[in-house]
Structure 1
Amino acid sequence: MGDKAEDETSFYSNAEGYWRDVPPTVDGMLGGYGSISSIDINGSKAFLNKFLGEGEGKTGCSCALDCGAGIGRITKRLLLPLFSTVDLVDVTQEFLDKAKHYLGTEGRRVENYFCCGLQDFEPMSGRYDIIWIQWVIGHLTDSHLVQFLRRCQKGLRPNGLIVIKDNVSFEGVVPDEVDSSVCRDLEIVRSLVHRAGLQIVHEEQQMNFPQEIYQVHTLALR
């Protein structure tokens, strides 16, 4: 058991160390693939628009949470245009500091900048219409991901949604020693979602990304 705790501690501390050395730019956030940012945002917008609006079962537009927000790329281009207020959470303080400048005048609608690893983060109860979790679940162990999703569920407003958008491997769990993360296949991600007591209400593959990178899937959960 001691070994497991030690492994877990180094898994998180190595990731923090990796991100501390990454430049606080869009290219840095996207591992050198800054050119895919617009394709990514447009895909996410089309996905989200299926759920937002007025009427039965629709998700509100009052407050969103950007998990693993980095410098606020998703907040700036996806969430602030759609929601009245946004909160950001990221483990790297330098990124959050940079976000305050990067977001420009619209950044005044950001209410909270939380510097915290998601394994320790507790969303405020009943606050969020959307909790957006992109390219960060690989930095959580299975049990921490399940626990985090359960806490996110408590953070949702009525008809709120949790959205995971992430790389999926072809088969099994593929570790990345460089940034201390893992990439799981879709079946494993789905099983962890179900373990957290959530249902997948919609799922899509992001199209038009470069061939050489992992497939990226987006899952809406309630």
Structure 2
Amino acid sequence: MPKLGMEPTRRAEVINATLTCISIYGMDGMTLDKVAELADCSKGVVTYYFKNKDNLTIEAFKSFLAYYGLKIEAEIANTMTAGDMLDVTLKHILPPARNDTGEQINVSQLDGIEKMHIPYSAQGRLFIQFFSKAVLDRNLQEVVSSSYLADVHGVAKIFDYGNKAGQMTVEDAQSAAYGLLAMVVGLSFFRVADIPPSRSEDNRYICEDYVRRFTKH
């Protein structure tokens, strides 16, 4: 049994190790032994908190998806315009290409949200691994559905705020949010498949153009 008071830290270390393991070896190559090695703990500690690989995978997926919302919420302020809020949102859910492969995965809030980080290259690998597995796994589908419904609701509130504040013209905030997030998912797959658009190597400008259609100038 882990030492008393170590539970939050140990759980966080195991989740971070799981995401690191999946980003390196893929979902099928991730094992409890490899996770334990990366987390610098025994396999018994991993199973103590998460029972088995399926439970561990679900909790790691939840943490992966929650990471983006936490980073966005930490940066958005009530004094921002709706456009600025959407800029912050896109910065995290479809981040600009960057070279940060030397940094480690950390989706834990224990040391502060500012310390949370997933390297750009790892984000793409984790995205494709989790979502391809979710196609056939009902439990993972439920994680995606719950997370994305909340995301659509949150982005719709921003569109609605922009409309009411006279900063945007949005007939249906829910549909606008649904379209933006669907676009982000599609563009994320194109990034992983290395299919660049004709205008730029970074396809995020397509989402930015979409948002500008609603923005009053």
Report the structure, 1 or 2, having the larger strand content. 1
Greater C-alpha Rg? 2
Assess same fold via TM > 0.5.
Answer: no
TM-score, normalised relative to structure 2: 0.26
TM-score, normalised relative to structure 1: 0.25
